[in-house]
Structure formats: C-alpha cells, structure tokens
Amino acid sequence: MRPAAYLLRPRARRFGAMSSAADGSTPPTQPTLRTALDAVPAYVPGKPASAPEGVTAYKLSSNENPFPPLDAVRVVLDKALDVVNRYPDMASVDLIGAIAAFVGCEPANIAVGTGSVGILGQIIQATCDPGDEVVFAWRSFEAYPIVAALAGARSVMVPVDAGQRHQLGLMADAVTERTRVVIVCSPNNPTGTVVHRGELEDFLARVPRSVLVVLDEAYLEFVRDADAPDAVAVWRAHPNVMVLRTFSKAYGLAGLRVGYAVAHAPVAAALRKCAVPFGVNTLAQVAAIASLEARDELMARVDVIVAERARVAAGLAEQGWQLAPSEANFVWLPLGTQSGPFAAACEAAGLMVRRYADDGVRVTISEPEANTRFLEVCRAFGPR
Ligand SMILES: *Cc1c(COP(=O)(O)O)cnc(C)c1O
C-alpha cells in the first residue's frame, strides 16, 4: 500500500515547528480563516412584522406570497413527515422529471438547489476562481455580491438607468477576459423592471460564448409585459445562457428552500457537482411537485396579486408618484435620502418594508388591507 499523501510533503512545516515559533514570531491564537470572507457583505433579511397595539402588522419586506399553503401541498407534506428519518432522494429524480416536463426539456437540463440562492452559489463555485469577475446590474439582488465574494470573485456592478432598468449595453461593455458570469435579473429585484427581447438579443450577440449568462427569473409568473423575453427560448438558442427559477415567490414555498436551473447539460452537470449533498429535502421535493401539479390554482392567486399591483400602481400615480412600472410582486420607491423617514412612517403604521440605505424602499404587494394601508402611508408622506 502506498503511504498517505501527507507523509510525502517534506517541505510542509510540522505543527510542532509552527507552534514553537522558533523564528520568534507570535503563533496564531485562532484558526486561520480565508481573507476573502472579509469582503463578504452581510445579507439583510426582511424585518419580521410588528405593529402598534390593536393594529394588524404586515411583513412587506421579503416579497413573500401572502396566501397560505394549498391543501394539496399540506397533504403531501403530511405524508412526507412519515419518512423524515430517511435521507431525501439525493438526485431529486421525481422533482427533476416534473420540472423537465413542465419546462419542456430533458432532465439532464435541470438542476435543483436549496432555493435559487443556493444555485447561485453553485454557479459561482462552478465558474469563478479568485479574482474572476461577475457582472450584474445595481441595484439588483443583494445575494449576488455575497455569493461572488464568498468565492473570492470580484463583483462588477453596472448601475441601472434613471428608469430603474438594466443598461445591457454598459453590461456588455463591462465584460473582460476575467468575466465568468453575467447575471441578468428580470424582473429586477428591487427595481421591478424587465429587460426586453430585442435588447437582450443585442446584448447576447456581444457577450463571448465563454461567459455564462444567467437569466434570473424569480418573479417570472408576475410578468405581464408582452415584450419580456421567453427565457427558455433564449436558453435554447444560446449555448452560454441558463435560467434560474424558484418555488419561493409565486409558488409560495419560500420556507422550504427549493429552486431550479434550466441549463445546457455540461453546465447543469457542473451545478450538480457543486450541490450540498441531499440539500433539497424530502418536504421541499414533494411540495414542489404538488405545486407544479396545482399550477392553475397557484396562477389564479398570482392573478390576484397582479391585480392588486395594478390597484397600488394606479393609486400611487393618482397621488402624483412617478414610478417605473413593476412587473414583480413589489413596488420600488427610489426615495433617496427620504428612504429612512418613509420606512419609519410605514413601520409606525405596522408595515414592515425593505429599505436599501439611501437608495429607496421596496414594498411587497400583499393582502388587500396591507396594500390599502400602504397607499394611505404614501398619501400622508406625499409623492417625492
Ligand atoms: C427571491 C429571489 C430569488 C429566490 O430566492 P430563493 O433562494 O429561491 O428563495 C432569486 N433571485 C431573486 C432576484 C430574488 O428576488
């Protein structure tokens, strides 16, 4: 038998040599952590709901679905509780089969993960060495700079324009030989705008095939803009494009952590290699399958939220607010330095909203009563 590899490293200093600090230096007093972690921004979760006495509080800070789980989902979750002593199906065969049938592709083109945030981490792990670059719009989803920094990759943030839209031309300009990934978030979180078919095709024509373009469609089901691209068709037409989707928003399973990627087979295989083993648990798998089967019922709920979005947008316009149209389940108020006072006014009314420093405030479209109260706060605050 060959000796273990560690015995074959004559130049590695032994622990004894390190700890005796023969060179006079002070030996470390704690474990050595990667310096790349110093550049990782903290994820700010949406605040939980809290309200003054006698007022119902609403959490409008995490773009969650306000509807309770479907009965069909409760039934499969209840059954799956019987087997939580067992590991989940590591390959998520049934779920991947159901997603592939829904998307209209091969199972080899689907990878699942612990939410699309989990898959985003796998994407960066699969593509980026330290110093490589990830290009995305800003503001956009705050998980992007986190997953990039975790891998020691550099975030290249291209500002959205005055209309809160991706500047795809500038994003193509930002691609260098170090770029491994470009993320296009449409609808964009937190600004709510979509990219359009024509500009996306122009952009893809300029991006080298060696760069992976991720179309993050977390809010796809809320889109009503006829010029929005069909991301799966775009994926089929471009070998360097992949699509990212989630069960957290329209499907209402945020608490179970499951999302999926539609990717060309080599990319999908790389994503599976980077997955946490058994990450997508049994409850998440069965609930996602049941949700795809109950899609019509879920999409009727999405229609209700979209109608509420239209009511809120009309109410804000009537008050004099000039906002970019939202294609997602939230609205974005680019309030600048008024963001803090506005978020405080919402909180005083029992509405937890998401403030982004002195850029703006994002407010989730939720129950009608919450949306109406939000409009009242906006009226009292006055359009800016
Ligand atoms: C909410 C969201 C996701 C999905 O997150 P999950 O991890 O699937 O819950 C992905 N991308 C964007 C832009 C989002 O806003």
Which residue, by CA, sits nearest to atom 6 of ligand 1?
115
C-alpha of residue 6 to centroid of ligand 1, in Å = 42
330 forms bridges with which residues in the sheet?
A: 364
pLDDT number for residue 21: 56
Give me the average pLDDT of each 10-residue run along the chain (384 residues): 61 62 79 92 77 89 97 98 98 98 98 97 98 98 97 97 98 98 98 98 98 98 98 98 98 98 98 97 98 98 98 98 97 97 97 97 98 98 83
How many angstroms separate the CA atoms of 210 and 96, rounded? 26
**Cα(100)–Cα(249) distance, integer angstroms:** 20
| Residue-wise DSSP of 136-188 | EEESS-THHHHHHHHTTPEEEEEE--TTS---HHHHHHT--TTEEEEEEESSP
Q: From ligand 1's centre to the CA of 115, what distance in Å?
A: 7
Ligand 1 pocket residue status of 115, Cβ below 6 Å: yes
- Would you tell me how many other CB atoms lie within 10 Å of the CB of residue 163? 10
d(CA 51, CA 348) in angstroms, rounded, equals: 7
Contacts of 14 (CB under 8 A, 6+ apart): none
* CB of 281 sitting under 6 A from ligand 1: no
Atom of ligand 1 nearest to the CA of 140: 13
Q: Is 275:321 a contact under the CB 8 Å cutoff?
A: no
154-159 and 179-185 beta bridge pairing: unpaired
Ligand 1: centre distance to CA 291 (Å): 17
Please tell me the predicted confidence (pLDDT) of residue 41.
87
Q: Count of CB atoms within 10 A of residue 110's CB?
A: 24
Q: Give residue for tokens 């709920």.
A: 301
pLDDT of residue 53: 82
CA distance 103 to 232: 8
Q: Is 282 in the pocket of ligand 1 (CB under 6 A)?
A: no
Q: What sign results for the dihedral spanned by CA atoms 63, 67, 71, 72?
A: negative
For residues 88 and 113, what is the distance between their CA atoms, to the nearest angstrom?
13
Residue 256 CB–ligand 1 contact under 6 Å: no
Tell whether ligand 1 has an atom less than 6 A from the beta carbon of residue 192.
no
How far apart are the CA of 174 and the centre of ligand 1, in A? Answer: 24
Q: Distance from the CA of 258 to the center of ligand 1, in angstroms?
A: 10
Residues 6 or more apart in contact with residue 231 via CB below 8 angstroms = 215, 217, 220, 243, 262
pLDDT number for residue 27:
86
Give residue 52's pLDDT.
78
Q: Is the CB of 259 under 6 A from ligand 1?
A: yes
pLDDT at 111 (0 to 100): 98
Query: What ligand 1 atom has the least distance to the C-alpha of 185?
Result: 13
Cα 305 to chain centroid distance, Å, stands at 20
> Which residue's CA is the closest to the ligand 1 atom numbered 4?
116
241 CB within 6 A, ligand 1 = no
Could you count the other beta carbons within 10 Å of the beta carbon of residue 151? 21
Q: Is residue 248 lining ligand 1, measured as CB closer than 6 Å?
A: yes
Give the closest residue (by CA) to ligand 1 atom 3.
218
46 C-beta closer than 6 A to ligand 1: no
How far is CA 151 from each of CA 144, 268, 284, rounded to the nearest angstrom? 11, 19, 27
Write the residue with the smallest CA distance to atom 12 of ligand 1. 218
Structure tokens given for 68: 């309770």
Check if the beta carbon of residue 107 is closer than 8 Å to that of residue 100. Answer: yes
Question: Looking at the whole model, is its pTM more than 0.75?
Answer: yes
Task: Give me the phi and psi of 108, to 5 degrees please.
Answer: -65, -15
What's the pLDDT at 16? 61
Q: What is the pLDDT at residue 157? A: 98
Length of the chain counted residue by residue:
384
Confirm or reject: Cβ of 92 under 6 Å from ligand 1: no
Strand partners, 45: none
Determine whether the shortest distance from the Cβ of 142 to ligand 1 is under 6 A.
no
Q: How far is CA 274 from the centre of its chain?
A: 18
**Angle at alpha carbon of residue 135, lines to 326 and 226, rounded to 5°:** 30
Cα 5 to ligand 1 centre (Å) = 42
Q: Give the pLDDT score at 20.
A: 54
